[in-house]
């Protein structure tokens, strides 16, 4: 089991997510806390580079991304960001 710890920025991002999306996000959190990752299908999970080196990204929906960092030594996953491509990377998909 992994412990999910949201960053301050993640908490700010999450507040802007419409409530009708929360059930799907909670499902993703459950999978992530149980396995430490998300399956490639259907989430298109992959490692990031650049400013988010060593972080992972998954597509909860076509334009809703989750970015996290796994601290493997103590089974903690830092929830880093959540939101659209434009919001997180300053550009459109």
- How many domains does the chain contain in total? 1
What gap in Å lies between CA 15 and CA 93, rounded to an integer? 22
Residue 57 lies in domain? 3-87
In a domain, 80, yes or no: yes
Considering the entire predicted model, what is its pTM?
0.89
Tokens of 52: 């988010």
pLDDT 10s digits, 2-46:
999 999 999 999 999 999 999 999 999 999 999 999 999 999 999
In a domain, 62, yes or no: yes
In a domain, 92, yes or no: no
In a domain, 93, yes or no: no
In a domain, 57, yes or no: yes
What gap in Å lies between CA 35 and CA 72, rounded to an integer? 12
Local confidence band at 91 (pLDDT 50, 70, 90 cut-offs): low
CATH number at residue 71: 3.30.2310.20
């Amino acid at each position: 089991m992994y412990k999910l710890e949201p960053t301050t920025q993640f908490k700010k991002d999450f507040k802007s997510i419409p409530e009708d999306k929360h059930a799907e996000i909670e499902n993703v959190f459950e999978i992530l806390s149980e396995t430490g990752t998300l399956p490639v299908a259907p989430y298109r999970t992959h490692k990031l580079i650049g400013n988010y080196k060593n972080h992972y990204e998954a597509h909860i929906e076509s334009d809703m991304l989750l970015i996290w960092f796994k601290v493997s030594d103590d089974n903690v996953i830092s929830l880093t960001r959540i939101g659209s491509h434009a919001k997180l990377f300053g550009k459109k998909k």
